[in-house]
Structure formats: C-alpha cells, structure tokens
Chains A and B, each alone.
Chain A
Amino acid sequence: SAVISQKPSRDICQRGTSLTIQCQVDSQVTMMFWYRQQPGQSLTLIATANQGSEATYESGFVIDKFPISRPNLTFSTLTVSNMSPEDSSIYLCSVDSADRALLGGYTFGSGTRLTVV
C-alpha cells in the first residue's frame, strides 16, 4: 500500500491565522481525501482532491475555509483558514488502494493535530 508523509504532525496556532497541511504520497494516486477527526468523534470527510480539477467539498465544508491544492498525482495541501478554536482537531489525508473493492480500504497519513488558541 501507499506510504503517506503528512506534516506538520502538530501545531498550535493563534485564532485568525491559517495553517497549511501537506501530504506527500510515495506513488501516484488519482484521488486524495482530506478528513477531520474532532475529539471523541469519528472521521468526517472534508473534501476529495483530484489532480487537475477543483476539489469536491462535502456538505458543511467550503473552499474559502479549507482551500485545497493538488498540483500533481503525489502531493496535496489543505489549508485551514481564519482559524477559530472550533477548528481544533486532527486533520488526516488519505488515499485509496489501487483496487479498493478487492484490496480494501484506505491508507491514512499520520495526521496533523491542530490546536487553535
């Protein structure tokens, strides 16, 4: 399965600022996914990032707040903009396996633990 390098692993940020999270994959992948996991909660999909097109956002998430870049097939960034304490969460990137139906599942980056003060 793919190996994902995600950084930063954690950050403490002032409210009103922005943080950009990076994910680098060791192989080319069509789709990359960005998730948020709030304390005590499961993962919620923020958006799907395809190379060469705008990201597709899930209900409740907008591009102005969470701009995403996908400049090539191995890299993506998620920016958390104009942060507030409610944005404190773990953010994870993910890629799917080459044949999801057979091999099963997704690989996740190690996550970025964001605290907004």
Chain B
Amino acid sequence: RKEVEQDPGPFNVPEGATVAFNCTYSNSASQSFFWYRQDCRKEPKLLMSVYSSGNEDGRFTAQLNRASQYISLLIRDSKLSDSATYLCVVIFMNRDDKIIFGKGTRLHILP
C-alpha cells in the first residue's frame, strides 16, 4: 500500500457545485496533514492545514479521520478559479520528519 494515496481524477465539476475528495495514508504515526494547491506549471502552495477537529476556511472544509486514516477536502460553491491539482501532504514526525506528498487530484471546474 502506498504511503499516501489520492484519486488522480480528473474531477470535472460544474461551477457552483460541491466537490469532495479524499486522501488515505498508511502510517498511523502520521501527525500533521495538509492540503496544497498546485496550478499548472506553478509551485505548490499551502491551502490549509488539517486538524483533528476539522477546519473550515471560507468555501473549503478539511477533515481528518484518524480511525480510518484519511483526510478529506470539501469545496463548496466551486469557482472556475478552483481548477487546479490538490495535493495531500502527510508528515510523520519521528526522529526525522518524513514528508510525503500525494500525487494529487486534478479538479476541473466547468463553466
């Protein structure tokens, strides 16, 4: 099983719809979780951290399910500008931090 797995998509979603995707991780010792956004030919940029209690930032909601070892990202009222690749990032904090990036989920918002 891969350390971090994401559905590569693409998700083709009409503008205004709600879309959600998950990321599963294999190491139960994982301690920090993030969603990054990467636009085509651009560097990844931090979208939001994922906390155990879940967190919301405007139209974006991130949740963590430690029992099932997955994190999720929900985007409400999607905009054309939300089209991007969303990368799941998991950090295992042992003696040496290990940072694992998922391959990303491609999202296309359709007008």
Q: Is B42 an interface residue (CB 8 A)?
A: yes
Q: Is B21 an interface residue (CB 8 A)?
A: no
One digit per residue, 1 when the CB lies within 8 angstroms of any chain B CB and 0 when it does not, for chain A 1-25 equals 1000000000000000000000000
Q: Across the A-B interface, how many residue pairs have beta carbons closer than 8 Å?
A: 44
Q: From residue B17, how far is it (CB to closest CB) to chain A in Å?
A: 26
Q: Which residue of A lies closest to B49 (CB)?
A: A104
Q: Which residue of B lies closest to A58 (CB)?
A: B98
Q: Which residues on the A side are within 8 Å of B91 (C-beta)? A: 100
- The answer to whether B99 and A45 have CB atoms under 8 Å apart is yes
A103, B51: Cα distance in complex, Å: 11
- The answer to whether A110 and B43 have CB atoms under 8 Å apart is yes
Q: Which residues on the B side are within 8 Å of A107 (C-beta)? A: 46
Q: Is B25 an interface residue (CB 8 A)?
A: no
A107, B34: Cα distance in complex, Å: 12
Main secondary structure of the interface of B (DSSP, over half): strand
Contact partner of A42 among B32, B46, B87, CB < 8 A?
B87
Q: From residue B94, how far is it (CB to closest CB) to chain A in Å?
A: 14
Q: Is A41 an interface residue (CB 8 A)?
A: yes
Q: Which residue of B lies closest to A113 (CB)?
A: B41
One digit per residue, 1 when the CB lies within 8 angstroms of any chain B CB and 0 when it does not, for chain A 41-56 equals 1111100000000001
- The answer to whether A101 and B44 have CB atoms under 8 Å apart is no
Q: Taking A42-B103, A45-B99 as contacts, is the C-beta distance between A109 and B32 under 8 angstroms? A: no
- The answer to whether A101 and B32 have CB atoms under 8 Å apart is yes
Residues on A close to B: CB < 8 A? 1, 33, 40-45, 56, 92, 100-101, 103-111, 113
Residues on B close to A: CB < 8 A? 31-32, 34, 36, 41-46, 48-49, 87, 89, 91, 96, 99, 101-104
